[in-house]
Amino acid sequence: MRRRRPRRAGPRAGGDGLAGLAVAGRRGRGAGAAHPDAPALAARRRRRGRGRDRGIAGRPGPRGRGGPAGAGLSRRRARCRHARGGAVGRHRGGVHHPVRREPIGRTRRAGPPAAEAHQRGPACDAGRAARAAGRLAAATRRLKRSLRDVRILIISPVDPAAVARLRERHDVVCAYNADAATLRAAIVDRDAVILRSGVKLDAAAMALAPDLRLVVRAGSGTDNIDLDHLAARRIALVRVPEPGAQAVAELTFALMLALARGVRTADAALRQGHWAKYEIEGRLISGKVLGVVGAGNIGRRVGQIGAALGMRPLGCVEHPTPEATAALERAGMALAPFDRVVAEADFLTLHVPLTPSTRYIVGSDVLARMKPGSYLVNMARGGVVDEAALHAALVRGDRLRGAALDVHEHEGEGRRSPLADLPNVVLTPHIGASTVDTQRQIGERVVEIVEQHAGALPVAVPA
């Protein structure tokens, strides 16, 4: 019969470590005899299994609780820390995680007590929004710093507020209405040129600017710019046609009404002290046919205004698309061939660009086919009308009753139109887009264009 080995000395499960050690010693060496190393063994076990009292070391105890080893320790430490106003473990939305243990050897950073822990709510959302706004502002500042200063030459008057804004960040030189010599001297080191009508930007001048990459046309027409040179050098051309369209359309009717009501004759007579009340015979524009040559952006607006005044708009446009035709019909304008528009119009208005195909489109032959007693209004370009033929037709008076021109074949200071001597002609110095509102809108758009292109322009390396 085999002899049973004595039970191994150690703490019993569920019992106190130190008491168990004493009992085991008595069983192994006799009653009342303690193990000689009992104090050292007890201290070692306390260090190894700290907190492994009943119900905490993963075994069921008197409290009826079980769990992974160490869980009881974490719960107890968490309770103790909370009782002292501290915090242990991961902080999740103001509630401390009871299982996540604090790394051994690390101390908790100083912070607010648990009762004052940060809670999510409206204030937190406002803080996140403020931080996001701050990040956006910082990114915007970095972007602005990354955009290089653009060397700009402005050769036509633009809105002063726009010039001031450009000067805040860029190198701006203004040479308004510059002649050829001044333009060639000023353009040499420029990256961008801003201009309106009245100043020519030719290939000879642009060839002197090796860094030129952007031309901004503060308007719609491009007949004063060498487009072939731009294409050959891949220089960007950006037009600003929209703001001026409404202004040009409104001036069209101002001139039309001045012709129909004899405003120039009445004004001159009254200035001389003559009361010509019963001599001036005006005519209505309501019920008349409004012929629009060039029913594009401006011409469409002219048709809309004419329809609102009771006129019957009849327009023509080169190579109309189905979309353009539908848009004109919605505006109340019918499309017809050029010859029909000329023959039926009581008021013929011109709104086409100056190209080789439109130069002198209104000459002696077209004037001869116009309706007797009709009026001509040129809002396009001076080269569209043969002014010598127009002068002859007005002197004859068998077809045209009068004409108004905002654009002229020869424009500029010191120029005098041969039509100025005729009493049935109204002349204005190309002021179609010259309104305070229009120029402010054009200036704002010019600034936007320059800023959009600033990052794409080459960076000049200083010598």
- With bands split at pLDDT 50, 70 and 90, how would you rate the model's confidence at 327? confident
pLDDT value for 182: 94
**256-278 per-residue burial string, b: 16 or more CB within 10 A, e: under 16:** bebbbbbbbbbeebeeeeeeeee
Cα separation, 217 vs 225, in Å, equals 9
Please give the average per-residue pLDDT across 348-353, as a whole number: 97
193 pLDDT above the threshold of 50: yes
27 pLDDT above the threshold of 70: no
63 pLDDT above the threshold of 90: no
pLDDT, tens digit, 9 for 90 and up, residues 71-80: 555 555 555 5
Residue 227 and residue 201 in contact, taking contact as beta carbons nearer than 8 Å? no
Residue 17, number of CB atoms within 10 A of its CB: 17
Which candidate, 184, 197, 240, 192, places its Cα nearest to that of 213? 192
Tell how strand 151-154 and strand 347-350 pair up: unpaired
pLDDT value for 125: 74
pTM of structure: 0.66
- With bands split at pLDDT 50, 70 and 90, how would you rate the model's confidence at 136? confident
Q: Which residues pair with residue 316 across a beta bridge?
A: 293
- Whether 430 is a known active-site residue: answer yes
Q: Which of the following is catalytic: 165, 381, 445, 453?
A: 381
Q: What is the CA radius of gyration of the chain?
A: 46
Residues in contact with 346: Cβ distance below 8 Å, sequence separation at least 6, in sequence order? 285, 288, 289, 290, 291, 371, 373, 374, 375
Please give the average per-residue pLDDT across 59-70, as a whole number: 49
pLDDT value for 18: 37
Question: Quick check: helix, strand or coil at residue 294?
Answer: coil
- With bands split at pLDDT 50, 70 and 90, how would you rate the model's confidence at 382? very high
Residues in contact with 276: Cβ distance below 8 Å, sequence separation at least 6, in sequence order? 265, 266, 269, 270
116 pLDDT above the threshold of 80: no
426 pLDDT above the threshold of 80: yes
**Least reliable range by pLDDT among 80-94, 203-217, 327-341, 384-398:** 80-94
pLDDT, tens digit, 9 for 90 and up, residues 280-325: 999 999 999 999 999 999 999 999 999 999 999 999 998 888 888 8
CA-to-CA separations, 273 to 14, 161, 255, 269, 363, in angstroms, rounded:
127, 43, 24, 7, 38
List phi, psi (to 5°) of 377.
-130, 115
CA angle 458, 186, 181 (to 5 degrees): 140
pLDDT value for 4: 57
- Whether 148 is a known active-site residue: answer no
Q: Between residues 58 and 378, which one has the greater pLDDT? A: 378
- Domain 151-242+438-454 class, CATH top level: alpha beta
What residue spans in the chain does CATH classification 3.40.50.720 cover?
Answer: 151-242+438-454, 244-435
pLDDT value for 126: 77
Mean pLDDT value across the chain: 80
Cα separation, 409 vs 389, in Å, equals 13
Q: CATH classification of 244-435 is 3.40.50.720, yes or no?
A: yes
* Ramachandran category for residue 461: left, alpha or beta (phi over 0 → left; psi -120 to 50 → alpha): beta
Chain center to CA of 4: 93
- Whether 319 is a known active-site residue: answer no
Q: Which of the following is catalytic: 102, 344, 411, 451?
A: 411
Q: Which of the following is catalytic: 190, 229, 300, 430?
A: 430
Cα separation, 164 vs 161, in Å, equals 5
